[in-house]
Amino acid sequence: MLVGNDVVDLRDSESQPEALHSRFDARVFTAAEREALGVSAAPHVLRWTLWAAKESAYKIAKKLDPTVRFLWREFSTHPMGEGWLVVVHGPHSFDVRVSRTDEWVHSVATHSSARHCSSTHGSARHGSARQDWAPLRSAGSSVGAGVERLTRSDADPSSAVRKFARAAVGSRVECPPSQIRIAAERGIPVAFWRERRLSVDLSLSHHGRFVAWAYGDCVIPDDRRGFAAA
Ligand SMILES: CC(C)(COP(=O)(O)OP(=O)(O)OC[C@H]1O[C@@H](n2cnc3c(N)ncnc32)[C@H](O)[C@@H]1OP(=O)(O)O)[C@@H](O)C(=O)NCCC(=O)NCCS
């Protein structure tokens, strides 16, 4: 399963309506999306929810086809119920789960029918949240995702998000984060365990005070099973 994720800091100065180009909405959103924004009681939150959905879908679309460009209006969003959207791009559709607090919006796109599964959500704590799509896991596949607030010691968001992603993937394959390495292929993050490429799709995001990560199906290497974590 392919995943893409995006986090938006709703209080970051660059997210504020007055910071946006006057034609931002016209450039980014379809007519239907602009109509929804026009009648929304919370256009700020909806704007960044739709944006995050598009960007998380784009991150998968780019994996499927490296020539894809992020032409925003070509990624159309379609609400599917509370917290779920479908993003359509050309022949592809992406299921997108959106989580929100007062401070951030986080979207996780997958390239399968994840909307058929209800999700269990970790409780938000100190601006952070972890999610585990339990029904997908029990069906033999899983999506893990999380949002974390940067701390004063996190000087570099890229390093910080990799620290959290290594811990999450390490936990999934039951080995210490120190044994997980995250590299990049064409800018797209890929995970290794002891120099072996792991069969897990990964997505990273950072904006303002927050970082977020998501991973898709993770096949635990055969020689990893039963390994006592050092
Ligand atoms: C992928 C992209 C949207 C990320 O934008 P961003 O504002 O940096 O957003 P995020 O913080 O959410 O994501 C950054 C992370 O996404 C990952 N990433 C980078 N390029 C990626 C890609 N092509 N696909 C999937 N993930 C990607 C990286 O892990 C990156 O983290 P890092 O900088 O720490 O390595 C941006 O880099 C991009 O490619 N834009 C589209 C350019 C384009 O098509 N322009 C033409 C239309 S105008």
Q: Which domain holds residue 68?
A: 3-222
Q: 162: domain CATH number? A: 3.90.470.20
Q: What is the pLDDT of residue 225?
A: 56
Confirm whether 7 is domain-assigned: yes
Distance 39 CA to ligand 1 centre (A): 30
Query: Is residue 54 in contact with ligand 1, taking CB distance under 6 Å?
Result: no
148 assigned to some structural domain: yes
d(CA 28, CA 40): 17
Asked whether 62 lines ligand 1 (CB < 6 A), one says yes
229 assigned to some structural domain: no
Domain count, the chain: 1
Host H or E run for residue 149: strand 144-149
Domain assignment present for residue 74? The answer is yes
Assigned domain for 227 exists: no
The pLDDT, as a whole number, for residue 44 is 98
What does the pLDDT read at residue 189?
A: 96
Q: Is the CB of 69 under 6 A from ligand 1?
A: yes
Count of residues in the chain: 230
The distance in angstroms from the start CA to the end CA of the chain is 29
What is the mean pLDDT, run by run of 10 residues, along the chain of 230 residues? 96 97 98 98 98 98 96 97 95 96 97 44 48 42 90 92 96 91 94 91 97 86 51
Rounded to the nearest 5°, which phi and psi values hold at 152? -55, -30
List the 120-121 sheet strands across, edge first: 120-121, 129-132, 144-149, 210-219, 199-207
Centre of ligand 1 to C-alpha 204, Å, is 9
Q: Which helix (H) or strand (E) holds 220?
A: none
In a domain, 228, yes or no: no
Q: Which atom of ligand 1 is nearest to the CA of 69?
A: 44
Q: Is the CB of 70 under 6 A from ligand 1?
A: yes
Q: How far is CA 79 from CA 21, 49, 94, 102, in A?
A: 26, 11, 12, 20
- Can you say whether the dihedral through the CA atoms of 55, 59, 65, 69 is positive or negative? positive
Q: Residue 101 Cα, ligand 1 centroid: separation in angstroms? A: 23
pLDDT of 140: 44
Residue 206 lies in a domain: yes
Using the mean position of ligand 1's atoms as its centre, give its distance from the Cα of residue 139 in Å.
30
Residue 189: inside a domain = yes
How many angstroms is it from 229 CA to the middle of ligand 1? Answer: 33
Protein residue whose Cα sits closest to atom 42 of ligand 1: 70
pLDDT at 130: 63
